[in-house]
A and B are shown apart, each in its own frame.
Chain A
Amino acid sequence: MTIQFNKETFRDDYSFKNSDWAIERFPFPFHEDSYMYSVNMEQHRGGPEGSVYEKRFDVDEHYVSEMADRAMVLADDPLRCQSLPHMTLAGWDLLELIMVSKSEDYPDLFELHRDGDTWRWVNKPMGIDDTFTFMDETTLPYGPMEYITRQTQGDFCVLDQREDNLWMDAGMITTQADWSLDFDIGMNFFEWHAPVPKAHEMGIFQRALKFLLNIPQGAPARRLNWTMTVNPLLDTSPENYHKWGIQKTELTPENIGAKQHLRVELQSFFRLPRSNALVFPIRCYLIAFQDIVKSPKWGRRLHRVIRDLPEELATYKGFIDNRPMMLDFLSAYDDGLPTSPGVFPENETEPPLKK
């Protein structure tokens, strides 16, 4: 299909919105009526047609506006994109992975023409047509990682692998759920996960690291993570907490349906061939509560998950204060009927809400 790209903002007047298409394909993260951490990893090899899982790097209606937002964040704070000197090779690996994937998966939007090391890259939605020499940084306007991630939705952590650990040695981080690349740069897997409650005791990180260290070339993996964001903000960074944190106090029973968003990260993991580094794309999807409850199954389930979530998790995810108001809103969409298993909305077969 041809995608109609929205003209929208993720700041100031917040004109971001999801079309019916985007709502239906939203990656709802709860496969049952409760939630607890798990490594919940699966292979990233396609998914149902039209779903966000289908392509290696999903492109949707928010693409062009998200890239404009990223450019603004970088103009204000260049440290959102960093790459330690030994990570340049991994940057070329990533550039190749994305260019090959997007040109194969979206031939109407992206083209890659390779003649030896002379590459021509055409990005139609963003109006880019560049010719450069692969592995020669001087032929691109930015380093290879920055160049390609200024054109790809989602944040990117590029992790060096050594000493049986992963190291946050490069990244493009502008749409993050309250963590800072500038703070985490150079940290290992356990160091950058130190603030997460409960999961350490559960041994989650040891298991997750073992899995990630062994992700082989040609077999990418994925998982979902989620949190809550008031207003459709992409840039919920610690650097800008003074700007967005206060907005969490502006929820009212009248505006919560429009302002409160479920924020879902589609995280994927690819082994990079030349550098043996691991790239960890974190793609952020936002959806307003009022759009979630259009699917009876999702409305029922979200109410139950938020209601039963352990207090530490609601605190860590930053919505403990607003939880009562969220539950007031969501309870109107939970009639107590059972939900079908799995993440998809099943709007055709799920019973409508009993008023």
Chain B
Amino acid sequence: MSAAPQKAKAGAEKIDVTVTAVVPLNDLVTRFEFQRPDGAQFPTFSAGAHTVVHMDDGGQPRLNPYSLMSDPAERSTYAISVRRDDAGRGGSLFMHNNVKVGDAMQITYPVNLFSLDLRAKKHVFLAGGIGITPFMAMIAQLERSNGNWELHYSVRSEALGTYVDQLTYKYPNKVHVYYDDQGQGIDLETLLDGQPLGTNAYVCGPKGMIDWVHATASAAGWPDANVHSEEFTAPQPGKPFEVRLCKSDKTIMVGENESLLEAIEREGVEAPFLCRGGACGQCETDVVSADGEFIHRDHWLDEDEHAAGKKIMPCVSRFVGKSLELDR
């Protein structure tokens, strides 16, 4: 138009927070709680939303998305639970090793790519491991509105059953826990077969579990629209590669332990983003020329677009080859 031209900022609005609790839950998972330094309330959020946590890892910015797992109606505190990934690029390690009570951090406004279908007559939650976190908020939201839900939660062992005690204590009839090391598993076919019309299923966990749920539900005649999943792809390390950014007139190196998006940001080039997990589509970038192979890891572009090599999602995808030029 432009009445008051304002450049869209990259990412969602940020909120300054203070770390108010660091609670180790087991060998792998720690809960972090945040409050606002000025004592103000957080925005209400819809269950299933995530926030992107900004970390300063010795000069290397790290921005990782984590599901908000606190009760959405509780506005004084936000909580996330972080699973330590020893083989990852360092974001979760930084959270576990460096973040202390009293630290000042920045997180983004909630963004929801995994919301409840409010038309559903019943909600069936299928969680694997750390995939429990969005369901903690969904359960809290549905309990307030008297919603109909049940949870099937698969964990490696009792020792790694994050929030199992709390859930089974509060909702003994709605929560079903399966222990891998005891040979237990979700009997998905039977479970899906017995659901009333209008049931929606939600799955959050490892990629294999998500694919299994979609395939099983589809084979059982469930409409795709009734099966919801969220898989954040954490950017994976990879071989360093060089990129030419045409608009900014810069040639940059993407290091082994940083994503293409992080490398672009490190060079001071503003690039749009939202989820940083290959799901939202906001960082989609046009490829000007490429001589080599893309390693597409996003869930945004379809197979044809991946094959065409005209677009890349720099938050999770990488490149191997001679040269790559981007329209950024």
Contacts of B43 in A (CB 8 A): 217-218, 273
What residues of chain B lie closer than 8 Å to A273, measured between beta carbons? Answer: 43-46, 110
The residue from B4, B49, B109, B115 contacting A42, defined by CB atoms under 8 A apart:
B4
Who on chain A is nearest to B120 by CB?
A86
Complex: A42 Cα to B7 Cα, angstroms: 8
Known pairs A214-B281, A276-B112; A43 contacts B8 (CB<8 A) = yes
Q: Which residues of A contact B108 (CB under 8 A)?
A: 216
Stretch in A45-53, A145-153, A241-249, A316-324 touching the partner: A45-53
- Does A27 belong to the interface (CB within 8 Å)? yes
Taking CB as reference atom, which chain A residue is nearest B49?
Answer: A276
Check B6 against A343 for contact (C-beta < 8 Å): no
Tally of A-B Cβ pairs under 8 angstroms: 88
Q: Could you tell me if B118 and A275 are in contact, using CB atoms closer than 8 angstroms?
A: yes
Assess whether B40 is interfacial by the CB under 8 Å rule: no
Instruction: Knowing A218-B12, A273-B45, A275-B118 are in contact, say whether A31-B1 is a contact too (CB < 8 A).
Output: yes
Residues of chain A at interface, number, CB under 8 A: 35
Which of B21-77 touch A at CB < 8 Å?
A: 43-46, 48-49, 72
B170 at the interface (CB under 8 A from A): no
Within 8 Å by CB of A89, from B8, B112, B118, lies: B118
Contacts of B115 in A (CB 8 A): 161-162, 276
- Residues in B with CB closer than 8 Å to A51 are 3-4
A209-243 interface (Cβ within 8 A of B): 210, 213-214, 216-219, 223-224
Asked whether, in the complex, the Cβ of A214 is within 8 Å of the Cβ of B3, the reply is no
Query: Is A20 part of the contact surface with B, judged by Cβ < 8 Å?
Result: no
Shortest Cβ distance from B44 into A: residue: A273
Question: Is B111 part of the contact surface with A, judged by Cβ < 8 Å?
Answer: yes
- Interface status of B225 (Cβ within 8 A of chain A): yes
Q: Which residue of B1, B72, B118 contacts A223 across the interface (Cβ within 8 Å)?
A: B1
User: Which A residues are in CB contact (< 8 Å) with B282?
Assistant: 214
Residues of A within 8 A of B117 (CB): 162
Judge if A40 is at the interface, Cβ distance under 8 Å.
yes
The residue among A43, A47, A213, A273 with the most chain B CB atoms within 10 A of its own CB is A273
B4 touching A46 by the CB < 8 A rule? yes
Is B119 in contact with chain A by the CB < 8 A criterion? yes
Interface residues in A31-89 (C-beta closer than 8 Å to B): 31, 40, 42-43, 45-48, 51, 53, 85-87, 89
> In the complex, are the beta carbons of B109 and A219 less than 8 A apart?
yes
Cβ B12 vs Cβ A217 within 8 A: yes
Residues of B within 8 A of A210 (CB): 281
When the two chains form their complex, are residues B2 and A31 in contact, meaning their CB atoms are under 8 A apart?
yes
Q: Which residues of A contact B1 (CB under 8 A)?
A: 29, 31, 40, 42, 223-224, 343
Residue on A with the closest CB to B6?
A: A43
Tell whether, in the assembled complex, residue B2 and residue A163 are in contact, meaning their CB atoms are under 8 Å apart. Answer: no
Given contact pairs A48-B3, A53-B4, A86-B119, A219 touches B46 in the complex (Cβ within 8 A): no
A15 to B119 alpha-carbon distance, docked (Å)? 45
Question: How distant is the Cα of A100 from the Cα of B35 in the complex, in angstroms?
Answer: 22
Closest to B110 in A: A217
Closest to A87 in B: B118
In the bound complex, CA of A40 to CA of B1 (Å): 6
Most buried by B among A46, A86, A218: A218
Nearest B residue to A272 via CB reads: B46
Q: Which residue of B lies closest to A163 (CB)?
A: B225
Q: Find chain A residues with CB under 8 A from B13 CB.
A: 216-219
User: Is the beta-carbon distance between B111 and A216 smaller than 8 angstroms?
Assistant: yes
**A160 adjacent to chain B (CB < 8 Å):** yes
Mark contacts of B1-19 with chain A using CB atoms, 8 A cut-off: 1 yes-contact digit, 0 otherwise. Answer: 1111110110011000000
Is B280's CB within 8 Å of the partner chain A?
Answer: yes
Of all chain A residues, the one with the shortest Cβ separation from B119 is A86
- Please measure, in the bound complex, the distance between the C-alpha atom of A343 and the C-alpha atom of B110, giving whole angstroms: 34
- Per the bound structure, the CA–CA distance linking A310 and B210 in Å amounts to 49
A96 nearest CB neighbor, chain B only: B44
- Asked if A354 is an interface residue, CB under 8 A from chain B, the answer is no
Smallest Cβ-Cβ distance to A54: which chain B residue? B4
User: Could you tell me the distance in whole angstroms from the C-beta of B43 to the nearest C-beta in chain A?
Assistant: 6
Indicate the member of B4, B48, B281 with the most A CB atoms within 10 Å: B4
Our pick among B12, B45, B118, B281 for the contact of A219 (Cβ within 8 Å) is B12
A-binding residues in B (CB < 8 A): 1-6, 8-9, 12-13, 43-46, 48-49, 72, 108-112, 115, 117-119, 141, 145, 225, 274, 280-282
Please name 30 pairs of A and B residues whose Cβ atoms are closer than 8 Å in the assembled complex, sorted by A.
A31-B1, A31-B2, A42-B5, A42-B8, A43-B8, A45-B6, A47-B3, A48-B3, A48-B4, A51-B4, A53-B4, A160-B118, A210-B281, A213-B281, A214-B280, A214-B282, A216-B110, A216-B274, A217-B45, A217-B109, A217-B111, A218-B12, A218-B13, A219-B9, A219-B109, A224-B1, A273-B45, A273-B110, A274-B72, A343-B2
Additional pairs, 4, CB under 8 Å, beyond known A161-B115, A218-B43, A219-B9: A214-B280, A216-B12, A217-B13, A274-B44
10 smallest beta-carbon distances between A and B, as pairs? A86-B118, A276-B46, A47-B4, A216-B12, A218-B109, A276-B115, A218-B13, A273-B44, A86-B119, A53-B3
